[in-house]
Amino acid sequence: MDFDVKNIDLAPGGRHRIDWAEQEMPVLRGVQQQFKDERPFAGLRISACMHVTTETANLMVSLQAGGADVVLSASNPLSTQDDVAAALVSHYEIPVYAIKGEDNETYFKHLNAVLDHNPHIVMDDGADLVSTIHKSRRNLIDNMLGGTEETTTGIIRLRAMARDGALQFPMMAVNDALTKHMFDNRYGTGQSTMDGIIRATNVLIAGKNVVVAGYGWCSRGIAMRARGLGANVIVTEIDPLKALEAVMDGYRVMPMNDAAPIGDIFVSATGDIHVFDEHHFMVMKDGALLSNSGHFDVEINKPALRELAVGDPKRARPFVEQFVMKHNGHRLNLLGEGRLINLAAAEGHPSAVMDMSFAGQAMAAKYLVDHKDELENRVYTVPQEVDQEIARIKLDAMGIKIDTLTEHQAAYLDSWEEGT
């Protein structure tokens, strides 16, 4: 079996952590049992490009239980947990191509290694596999049943491809599932982002001005958790509806140009480029912290930051690069190389929230197989009934009961004749 991990001897510790995460993933556990019974992926190859974490490991094991021949590469150079990668290879015989801190050349070498698997299904986190297939590995298209995508950034790319008529196989927009973006993006990103910032810096959040760029589901979660830690939260937005929502939620809202001089901690989760840019760096406080929770490391204009600084940055802490500004001597601190701070400096989302996301991911892959003869080359949302079932199982696992409509109530809601 071919693979490329940092150190296979890390496997025992990785297996213990995979087992620990599994305890918090009852929905995926149920899906895994279903897959064992039904074997929906028998004879199929699945190539995944995802964050190599304990939660992802449990998803890979579930797919394997369903008969899939699975391979995995990292979707971010800094997100790999090396002990988990080793455990997947050693204990589960799943080939993994991922090393924490790998350079760009190695990253794309690994990405192509999982495509050499000649997959029937791809699982993407940022659409790198799909993009590579369409750009340089088009020989794989005829074999493809389709794929799944779990990020906002990736779905934006896929919808652009579909709009241009470039998408050559169906894709499931797992991120659009309610049990994904309402929980994973909000509660998962919110908690793990603040965890990453604190682990990277050990700063006190209480009393700080935390500037959150954007007010989508991820940014909502970040703002909520920052406020819970005692921060004064400032939100910047381009969408008037989201900006108004942030105001009604009790946050200060202003343009980034006004926020830049007063912020202590900056977090971007927009999916766009250069959210923190040269003219912002020029006016930031001494000691400002710059972090990103968007998928790609483009939200902070790193080349401009380097150009404004005196010489090379100082490695102040393992995940902190300190840049001294030429024009005023202020020290600006870039966290986690401007990559996903929750995975670069911490462990990513808690298992309990990834449980729902990965159950949706697994069921979306099964949907591709079950409906392979009827799906077109476009982006599909996860069926509502799948969302509802995932939420129901999660509530059951939490020991929470809910009401059901009486026959009279159901009839009332279905009728147009009854009213006041």
Backbone φ and ψ for 195, nearest 5 degrees, come out as: -60, -45
Global pTM value: 0.89
Residues (pLDDT < 50) of the chain are: none
Could you tell me the residue ranges of all domains in the chain?
A: 8-180+349-397, 190-344
High-pLDDT (> 90) share of the chain, %? 94
pLDDT of residue 170: 98
Q: Are 89 and 19 in contact (CB under 8 A)?
A: no
Q: What angle do CA 383, 386, 392 make, to 5 degrees?
A: 145
The CATH number of the domain covering residues in 190-344: 3.40.50.720
CA distance 196 to 344: 7
pLDDT of residue 181: 87
On the question of a common fold for 8-180+349-397 and 190-344, the answer reads: yes
pLDDT of residue 143: 96
Q: What is the 3-state composition of the chain as percent helix, strand, coil, each rounded to the nearest 5?
A: 50, 15, 35
| Tens digits of residue pLDDT in 345-404 | 999 999 999 999 999 999 999 999 999 999 999 999 999 988 999 999 999 989 999 999
Mean pLDDT, rounded, of the chain: 96
pLDDT of residue 261: 98
Nearest residue to 331 via CA among 347, 314, 348: 314
pLDDT of residue 295: 86
Nearest residue to 48 via CA among 77, 82, 72, 76: 72
Determine the residue type at 133. Answer: I
Backbone φ and ψ for 67, nearest 5 degrees, come out as: 100, 0
pLDDT of residue 325: 98
Nearest residue to 281 via CA among 233, 236, 344, 324: 324
pLDDT of residue 417: 80
Q: What angle do CA 154, 159, 161 make, to 5 degrees?
A: 95
User: Hey, is 26 helix, strand or coil?
Assistant: helix
DSSP string, 226-270: HHHTT-EEEEE-S-HHHHHHHHHTT-EE--HHHHTTT-SEEEE-S
Q: Which residues contact 100 (CB under 8 A, 6 or more apart)?
A: 6, 77, 78, 79, 80, 81, 82
Q: Are 335 and 265 in contact (CB under 8 A)?
A: no
In the numeric block, the tokens 């693979």 are attached to 3
pLDDT of residue 418: 72
Looking at CATH, the fold of the domain delimited by 8-180+349-397 is given as: Rossmann fold (3.40.50)
CA distance 156 to 151: 9
| Tens digits of residue pLDDT in 1-35 | 999 999 999 999 999 999 999 999 999 999 999 99
* Greatest distance between any 2 Cα atoms in the chain: 75
